[in-house]
Chain A
Amino acid sequence: MTDQHAGHDHTPPADQDGPLTYYQTMEIALRELLVEKGVVTADQIRAAVEAMDARTPAAGGRVVAKAWCDLDFKQRLIADGTAACEELGIDMGPTRLVVVENTDDIHNVIVCTLCSCYPRMLLGPPPDWYKSRAYRSRVVREPRAVLREFGTELPDHFDVRVHDSTADMRYLVLPRRPDGTSNLSEEALADLVGRDCLVGVTLPRLP
């Protein structure tokens, strides 16, 4: 990509076929001005995009698999999510992480009704549905109906705990370890843990 060399950039963005929209034009102009003024550099922008692309839900899966295999780690994770993730070498930045644990009768699900707060350092950017009006509006009021749309049917004896992350904390669901996985390695367990079960709209895959 050469289009981040702001200022004298004649390469159209790779994703751009038609004319630029008003806001795409604004982004280019704003970025060029910020680079010229020395507020940010083109290299910093490029590095930030690369760092963002490198963050995937695999980090969250790794944390969960470790917690399933190491009870001491799990306790530390629940006591201080940020510190426990940093133990695994995950850069948490300024994130203050709260880990909420699913059990035999409690299921947790995360939302941000006011915007789209999400544990990006562990899961990468939020999926579109997480940011959607439908999810943000409904999951606080009819969580089981929303979970059903994701194919998640919970037995009646479960309590559903919805967490609205409105302020400074970010949330990660620690799913229940699936039955019949006692033989699996930590790496194999991590593969069962997809993004959606870390937000709480699904359960881990079965091996």
Chain B
Amino acid sequence: MQEAGRGPHDMGGESAGPVDQAAHDRLMWEKRVDALVTLLGHKDRQVLRVDELRRGIEQLGAAAYDRMSYYERWVASMTNVLLEKGIITSDELGRRMAEVEARQAEEAGR
């Protein structure tokens, strides 16, 4: 019963394998996600607190938490919090994502 109150992020003391020390260079889109989180959390805006970002990550659920990459979790959580706050709407985001995909397909076909 107590384990049910433990989030997928709350892993201190769990057993796990060796620490993989390999590094990857952060990709440009990952840096932009990081920059957006910093900017939206800036005291002049306070559109997204780190506390809210963390809460959103925890709410992705255990399966998603483990499947998604670090910055995938960040962008998914950031998006969800901005949706909750009405700063963006699901409809406009869905339409824009379709546009982005179409643009990319057009460029790939060129």
- Find B12's partner among A16, A25, A128, A137 (CB 8 Å cutoff): A137
CB distance from B46 to the nearest CB of A (A): 11
* CB-contacts of A114-169 with B (<8 A): 114-116, 125, 127-129, 131-138, 140-141, 146, 149-150, 164
Question: Across the interface, which residues of A come within 8 angstroms of B79, CB to CB?
Answer: 26, 30
B29 touches A150 (CB 8 A): no
Question: Across the interface, which residues of A come within 8 angstroms of B34, CB to CB?
Answer: 49, 52, 125
B13 touches A94 (CB 8 A): no
B19 touches A149 (CB 8 A): yes
Bound Cα distance A132, B17 (Å) = 11
- Find B14's partner among A13, A29, A137 (CB 8 Å cutoff): A137
A40 touches B40 (CB 8 A): yes
Question: Across the interface, which residues of B come within 8 angstroms of A3, CB to CB?
Answer: 28
- Our count of residue pairs bridging A and B at CB distance below 8 angstroms stands at 162
A13 touches B45 (CB 8 A): no
A125 touches B26 (CB 8 A): yes
Question: Across the interface, which residues of B come within 8 angstroms of A184, CB to CB?
Answer: none
A129 touches B35 (CB 8 A): no
Question: Across the interface, which residues of B come within 8 angstroms of A21, CB to CB?
Answer: 72
* Chain B 65-81 interface mask (CB, 8 Å, partner A; 1/0): 01011111001101100
A23 touches B32 (CB 8 A): no
Among the interface residues A30, A34, A114, A149, which one has the most CB atoms of the partner chain B within 10 A?
Answer: A30
In the complex, whether B2 has a CB less than 8 A from a CB of chain A is no
Q: A10-B107, A94-B43, A132-B20 are in contact. Are A27 and B75 (CB under 8 A)?
A: yes
Identify the A interface with B (CB < 8 A): 1, 3-4, 10, 12-16, 19-21, 23-34, 37, 39-40, 44-45, 48-49, 52-53, 94, 111, 113-116, 125, 127-129, 131-138, 140-141, 146, 149-150, 164
Identify the B interface with A (CB < 8 A): 9-24, 26-29, 31-36, 38-40, 43, 45, 47, 54, 57, 66, 68-72, 75-76, 78-79, 82, 87-88, 92-93, 96-97, 99-101, 103-105, 107-108
Contacts A4-B32, A136-B12, A141-B12 known; 15 new A-B pairs at CB < 8 A = A13-B29, A19-B108, A21-B72, A23-B69, A27-B36, A30-B78, A45-B39, A52-B31, A94-B43, A113-B13, A128-B23, A135-B19, A137-B15, A138-B19, A140-B13
